[in-house]
Amino acid sequence: MLKDATGQRIWYAESAGTEVAYAAMLDAGNFVLANRNSSTLLWQSFEHPTDTILPTQTLNQNNSLYARYTATNYSRGRFMLALQSDGDLVLYTTNFPQDSANSAYWSTKTDTGFQVIFNQSGLIYLASRNGSAINTISPYAVSIQNFYQRATLVHDGVLRHYVYPKSASSIAERRPMAWSAPVSIPENICFSVAGEMGGGACGFNSLCSRGEEGPICECPHGYTFFDPNDVRKGCKQTFVPQNCDQASPEHHFDFKDMQNTNFPYGDYEHFKNESEDWCRQNCLDDCFCAVAIFNMLGDCYKKRLPFSNGMIDSSVNSKALIKFGKDNSTWSSGGAITKKKDNSTLILVGSVLLSSSGVLYILLPLITYLVVSRIYSRKAKVIQPRPVMSGMNLKDFTYEELKKATNEFKEELGRGASATVFKGVLVSNTGRCVAVKRLDAKVRENDLEFKAEVSAIGRTNHRNLVQLLGFCTEGEHLILVYEFMSNGSLASFLFGESMPNSYQRKQIALGIARGLLYLHEECSSQIVHCDIKPQNILLDDYFTARISDFGLAKLLRLDQTRSMTAIRGTRGYVAPEWFRNLPITVKVDVYSYGILLLEIIFCRKHFEAVADNEDEMILADWAYDCYMQKKLHQLFENDEEEINDINEMEKYVMIAIWCIQEDPSLRPTMKKVTLMLEGTVEIGKDGFLLAIWFNNIPNRTIVWSANRNDLVQEGSQVELTSDGQFMLKDATGNGIWYPGTGVAYAAMLDTGNFVLANRNSSTLWQSFDHPTDTILPTQILNLNSSLYARYTAKNYSIGRFLFALQSDGNLVQFPTRLCLFCLLVSRNYKCWISGHLQPVWPHLPCIQEWKHTL
């Protein structure tokens, strides 16, 4: 069996039973389990394929291959190959994310198929029960002596027979020293995957064309991929759809002609014997029509969103007319559009006034003069669009533009401690909905610095971040304009009446982690969010998590005199270092993410003032207790889906608990969190410590370690570089621990002190200044220094207790599970520690902060 770091079973060869004596990896690529007599194979991987079969392997009736999700994501994807019980070998699309078959797009059309055989000559064929070949799947015969071979159902839905030369001398056909696929089934999947259900080979609203290395997915004009990393999710419009009440659609929409293009099925109207111009105009006048297909026979097919099965090929004898919005491209066209609408409005108002009463005939000369003079004055002016910030597409809005867009800030979407958000519609952008955030801070002498910070935010570009579209710093106003998220905040999604399913919650948790990883490590300038909470996670049309308000922590400090350590964030999500005057790093976001992850897992707020049991009031406390007592099922009483997958949920709880460690240095990075959520990195994997222990005592007694919470694997090393950097590197060469630079030599003193010194023998660093859980004779513990107990007797990571000499001179022992949480009880402040109510310790800085807040 395969067990995770906690000893929980992840996978086991069920059919092998308990008689397994040994396991062997055969040269054929078959992994086998056998009993002591070696006479019977109890289990073999050849009987449980994933997406590939190898020479000498067979695929039996009722067995399947599932394509992976993407080229780098090995989970089950959108296509499957099945040898059915009726003898037919069939390629299906799946009802993703379910594994069940959806629509067949290739089959052998046989009724006697019994096995798919991949023989040593490289032939792949379907055989009957008596072993005779009834259908050749891949006729490409090359010896396994000269070529490595495999048949793989690739993530794009194509079954490919791959070959790889074993040596240069075996390249009889001048094939490169790389995997190549002489046989592909089907030859053109763009044509094959075209059914009444599903989006086609490339997803909804997309186009598929045949390339040299497989199908190429692209979006029509006016559309863009939902996820550039997963193009088969399909495409979405980049413009606001046509309004059925809108007059003169020709002013706002046009068509992109695409030759040799079709979208089979999904027609809602079909007209015969018409011209292309008639077809085009009919679709333009129809607000439901997104695409029209026209052929030389005069057929006009109209399709609504989402359209499916898009294909481009020279054999297609039809033309696609793709409707798109003309005014959505950039803000720069907004001036002309606004001008036209303003003129129309003036003329319309004048007409209404003139026709409303005979008395108004007296005003005719005056109205005529006003209308004509305004039109001519506008023509005389050169309309200068508001500038775009250098290096990005951020518009510098005027206050009047945003006032008009929000209908004088009428529809409020939300309100926070430092800003109010309103819904708006940009007239200059074809009615695009936006979120207009009016900040309470004022920009005066810091206008240039504010724009520099807005520039940093504007340069961010990630699918899990809300996009900043523009800003306004006119006068005393400080306003940011973001894209509008139709599904609101994560808070309303998690804590609403209906519980989101497990898959959605896991994807949201992963999306948030990826967004934070981008802010911390991948964007041009590091951004610490400082206020991660459900209200600042928004959901787009497809419930993809999008982080909002990133960068605002720094923006809102521009005109303030508070220090970098002034507390920011929301109570319950704030990391302990805010209260201790410690440096604020990206680890404050990691802490907040840990609390948020618990909320996502359990669909429960981090604090419930009204609870059946006081032990259940603080979610982090309760989750920790249940995890340690192996009672996580108590947190899932109303979630049968999660109870059935308790081992998977335990992994998420472990990650969350790791994130909310009190010491920021012990929390993982968001990169490690992301890798753990993706399953790329195991949680709590065993490894090696760089440590100090007593040399002459038989049982090794460790007194100090450098990497207690980040074990390294075999192949790791300690290195003193030529430029004076002393570091511990893992097996991949990444630095795990490095105490400083300028080091000339290192020495292990007999007192148990490990020191690093420069060429003048001055001590640069010593382990005595950085104790773990032990102090030794001659060693001292200074103010603001601590000892952390290990987790267990054999687990050297941070445990549950802390021994600290505080800055006020008090020597105190703490439980380290959580930052203290104070409650107002009978007008006396009490502090909840480890689930018990105890008298408050008034000297603690976090208590003072809570008292101030309460």
Catalytic residues: 531
Q: Specify the pairing of strand 821-825 against strand 754-757.
A: unpaired
Tokens read off for 30 = 């078959």
360-371 core/surface letters (b: 16 or more CB in 10 A; e: else): eeeeeeebeeeb
- The CA distance from 712 to 716, in Å, is 6
Residue 462 three-state SS: coil
Q: Specify the pairing of strand 821-825 against strand 828-833.
A: antiparallel
C-beta of residue 772 within 8 angstroms of C-beta of residue 785: no
Residue 104 three-state SS: strand
Which residues partner with 710 through β-bridges?
A: none
Tokens read off for 21 = 């004596």
C-alpha torsion 194→198→202→207, nearest 10: 60
Q: Residue 373, Cβ neighbours under 10 Å: how many?
A: 10
Of 711, 798, 832, 760, whose CA–CA distance to 5 is shortest? 711
C-beta of residue 29 within 8 angstroms of C-beta of residue 54: yes
C-alpha torsion 55→60→63→66, nearest 10: 20
303-325 core/surface letters (b: 16 or more CB in 10 A; e: else): beebbbbbbbeeebebbbbbbbb
C-beta of residue 283 within 8 angstroms of C-beta of residue 302: yes
Which residues partner with 745 through β-bridges?
A: 757
What are the CA-CA distances from residue 359 to residues 199, 356, 370, 833 (Å)?
A: 62, 9, 18, 81
Q: What are the residues whose beta carbons fall under 8 Å from the beta carbon of 841, sequence distance 6 or more?
A: 812, 831, 847
Give the N- to C-terminal CA distance of the chain in Å, as an integer. 52
Of 145, 147, 144, 176, whose CA–CA distance to 163 is shortest? 147
Per-position DSSP letters for 230-282, written without gaps between them: -GGG-EEESSPPPPTT-S-GGGTEEEEEEETEE--S-EEEEE-S--HHHHHHH
C-beta of residue 848 within 8 angstroms of C-beta of residue 842: yes
Of 785, 531, 798, 792, whose CA–CA distance to 658 is shortest? 798
**Which residue type does 854 have?**
L
Bond before 777 cis per omega within 30 degrees: no
Residue 485 three-state SS: coil
- The CA distance from 746 to 749, in Å, is 10
Bond before 534 cis per omega within 30 degrees: no
- The position carrying tokens 């999500």 is 573
**Which residue type does 225 have?**
F
829 burial level (CB within 10 Å; 0-12, 13-18, 19+): middle
Helix or strand run (H / E) with residue 706: none
- The CA distance from 443 to 475, in Å, is 8
Q: How far is CA 394 from the centre of its chain?
A: 24
C-beta of residue 11 within 8 angstroms of C-beta of residue 3: no
- The CA distance from 473 to 635, in Å, is 48
DSSP label at 574? -
Of 158, 154, 157, whose CA–CA distance to 184 is shortest? 158
